[in-house]
């Protein structure tokens, strides 16, 4: 019984949401930098509104974020204090290749992550590295159109080979693309895509997805060649779709909605396009830009493990009249009347995590890794900056309990768990700072005011105990 002895407990972040230092040491500009906080953000990250530079009208939270770039030692020390076994972070592509298409990397960028990885190892923390977490160099978007262009494969190859070579021995767990299925929902953020007037959006997206899928297989191949100890995972924004009712049309709708997400992992894990996707694309006259060698690459270089984020389950309906949607979520779905929701309207469903884990494990039979889970909430610090975040502890405890049940009662093979935003950071969906997930409070607001001081919350001490007991003690006392 219980979780693996070497279970990888930890927390997760993404470069653009915490590093800041957007122009330090030669870093270039990326799509994620020009996404402002506020109303326009959704239209920009979805590629509907073209916005490729800074202006004076908006506030751009990624520019300074929480200044982790200059404070990473302090932050990693706090992760060490909690007993993290792993820390999931992402590489800012534009620190390594500022424009994206250079031949030679930027040494200062490489050195930053090398030092950061060494810092992790000081505390016995194994880095888990996302190669691309929503970032794409701005130059590649302006010159090549982002992932809609097959040339991106060359640039990604150069990036990944550089990383695997330089960090051999320092990093062994890699993820190729964060939430690869986000491309269908926020294509500018997911793949640097801005739509042109009148084009077939679905075609653009699936062609770009093909490039990412081939790039992912190529990176997996290189990772294994450079060091057979490397383990590479795919990464899915997961959440089981429940049918809105037992009506067969709703059940079919739920199956189809699940397949829209699993499509990506079917390719990355099974190594080929699933029949249902081929049929659908053929029906719609969408041609996948297969080139010579793509099929073999996909088939021979599948991922070692399946990682995913889970915040909520989803609901699908086959009835067009039913359209009361959940709010505030890039992955909006029909509302589930049986669930409570967070302050941002994300529905809370711990049992859904167990169901989702079983679904994924049944489908792929590869080890799973939960690399994001958490509650975005408004925290109210006392005069010392201390936050009593029992609501966060409740959320996490109930999800970890469900996760353990999937392992202990259902036999799911699980490598680890990293909660999202282990230190407060900028929200990807809204750009806000006040949507906090962390165990560590960071004094900064939506407009960039604050001292950036770090203060452990109540959940910090709770999570430390959870890790110490390998998940056996989830009590809040």
Binding footprint of ligand BG6 on the chain (CB under 6 A) = 14, 17, 178-179, 237, 309, 372, 376, 420, 427-430, 435
Q: Which is nearer to ligand BG6, 3 or 205 (CB)?
A: 205
Q: Considering the complex, what minimum distance in angstroms separates the CB of residue 343 from ligand BG6?
A: 11
Q: Considering the complex, what minimum distance in angstroms separates the CB of residue 262 from ligand BG6?
A: 17
The catalytic position among 324, 372, 388, 432 is 372
Q: Which is nearer to ligand BG6, 274 or 448 (CB)?
A: 448
Q: Considering the complex, what minimum distance in angstroms separates the CB of residue 177 from ligand BG6?
A: 11
Closest CA to 424 of 129, 187, 71: 71
Q: Considering the complex, what minimum distance in angstroms separates the CB of residue 295 from ligand BG6?
A: 29
Q: Which is nearer to ligand BG6, 80 or 345 (CB)?
A: 345
Q: Considering the complex, what minimum distance in angstroms separates the CB of residue 468 from ligand BG6?
A: 26
**292 noted as active-site residue:** no
Q: Considering the complex, what minimum distance in angstroms separates the CB of residue 101 from ligand BG6?
A: 25
d(CA 244, CA 237): 20
d(CA 393, CA 133): 26
d(CA 140, CA 37): 23
Q: Which is nearer to ligand BG6, 144 or 310 (CB)?
A: 310
d(CA 319, CA 341): 23
Q: Which is nearer to ligand BG6, 87 or 144 (CB)?
A: 87
Q: Considering the complex, what minimum distance in angstroms separates the CB of residue 469 from ligand BG6?
A: 27
Q: Considering the complex, what minimum distance in angstroms separates the CB of residue 308 from ligand BG6?
A: 10
Residue facing ligand BG6 at closest CB distance? 429
Buried b (16+ CB within 10 A) or exposed e, 438-447: bbbbbbbebe
Q: Which is nearer to ligand BG6, 59 or 290 (CB)?
A: 59
Would you give the distance in Å from CA 211 to the centre of its chain? Answer: 19
**Residues near 133 by beta carbon (within 8 Å), at least 6 away in sequence:** 14, 15, 16, 90, 178
3-state secondary structure the chain: CCCCCCCEEEEECCHHHHCCCCCHHHCCCEHHHHCCCCCHHHHHHCCCCCCCCCCCCCCCCCCCCCCHHHHHHHHHHHHHHHCCCEEEEECCHHHHCCCCCCCCCCHHHHHHHHHHHHHHHHCCCEEEEEEECCCCEHHHHHHHCHHHCCCHHHHHHHHHHHHHHHCCCCCCEEEEECCHHHHHCCHHHHHCCCCCCCCCHHHHHHHHHHHHHHHHHHHHHHHHHHCCCCEEEEEEEECCEEECCCCHHHHHHHHHHHHHHHHHHHHHHHCCCCHHHHHHHHHCCCCCCCCCCHHHHHHHCCCCEEEEEECCCEEECCCCCCCCECCCCCCCCECCCCCEECCCCCEECHHHHHHHHHHHHHHHCCCEEEEECCCCECCCCCCCCCCCCHHHHHHHHHHHHHHHHHHHCCCCCEEEEEEECCECCCCCCCCCCCCECCCEEECCCCCCCCCCCEEECHHHHHHHHHHHCCCCCCCCC
Q: Which is nearer to ligand BG6, 192 or 243 (CB)?
A: 192
d(CA 56, CA 71): 27
Q: Considering the complex, what minimum distance in angstroms separates the CB of residue 134 from ligand BG6?
A: 6
Q: Which is nearer to ligand BG6, 17 or 94 (CB)?
A: 17
Q: Which is nearer to ligand BG6, 313 or 430 (CB)?
A: 430
- Report the catalytic residues: 372
């Amino acid at each position: 019984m219980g979780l693996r002895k070497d279970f990888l407990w930890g927390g997760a972040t993404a470069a653009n949401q915490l590093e800041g230092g957007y122009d330090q040491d030669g870093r270039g500009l990326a799509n994620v930098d020009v996404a402002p906080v506020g109303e326009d953000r959704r239209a920009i990250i979805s590629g509907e509104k073209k916005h490729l530079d800074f202006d004076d009208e908006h506030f751009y939270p990624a520019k300074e974020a929480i200044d982790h770039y200059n404070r990473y030692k302090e932050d990693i020390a706090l992760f060490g204090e909690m007993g993290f076994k792993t820390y999931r972070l992402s590489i800012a592509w534009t620190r390594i290749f500022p424009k994206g298409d250079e031949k030679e990397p930027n040494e200062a960028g490489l050195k930053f992550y090398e030092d950061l990885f060494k810092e992790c190892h000081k505390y016995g923390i194994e880095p888990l590295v996302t190669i691309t977490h929503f970032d794409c160099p701005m130059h590649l978007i302006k010159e090549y159109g982002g992932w809609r262009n097959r040339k991106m494969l060359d640039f990604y190859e150069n990036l990944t080979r550089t990383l695997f070579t330089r960090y051999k021995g320092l990093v062994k767990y890699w993820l190729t693309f964060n939430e690869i299925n986000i491309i269908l929902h926020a294509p500018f953020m997911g793949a640097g895509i801005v739509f042109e007037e009148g084009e077939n959006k679905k075609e653009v997206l699936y062609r770009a997805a093909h490039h990412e899928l081939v790039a992912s297989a190529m990176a997996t191949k290189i990772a294994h060649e450079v060091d057979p100890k490397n383990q590479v995972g795919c990464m899915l924004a997961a959440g089981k779709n429940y049918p809105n009712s037992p009506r067969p049309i709703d059940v079919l709708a739920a199956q189809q909605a699940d397949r829209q997400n699993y499509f990506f992992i079917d390719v990355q894990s099974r190594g080929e396009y699933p029949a249902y996707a081929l049929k659908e694309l053929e029906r719609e006259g969408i041609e996948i830009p297969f080139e010579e060698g793509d099929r073999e690459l996909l088939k021979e270089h599948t991922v070692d493990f399946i990682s995913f984020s889970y915040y909520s389950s989803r609901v699908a309906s086959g009835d067009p009249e039913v359209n009361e949607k959940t709010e505030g979520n890039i992955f909006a779905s029909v509302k589930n009347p049986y669930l409570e929701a967070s302050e941002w309207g994300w529905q809370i469903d711990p049992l859904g995590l167990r169901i989702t884990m079983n679904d994924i494990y049944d489908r792929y039979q590869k080890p799973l890794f939960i690399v994001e889970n958490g509650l975005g909430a408004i925290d109210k610090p006392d005069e010392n900056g201390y936050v009593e975040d029992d609501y966060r502890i409740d959320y996490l405890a109930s999800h970890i309990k469900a996760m353990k049940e999937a392992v202990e009662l259902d036999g799911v093979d699980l490598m680890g768990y990293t909660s999202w935003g282990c230190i407060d950071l900028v929200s990807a969906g809204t750009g806000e700072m006040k949507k906090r997930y962390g165990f560590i409070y960071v004094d900064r607001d939506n407009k960039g005011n604050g001292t950036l001081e770090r203060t452990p919350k109540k959940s910090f001490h709770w999570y430390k105990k959870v890790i110490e007991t390998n998940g056996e003690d989830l009590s809040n006392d």
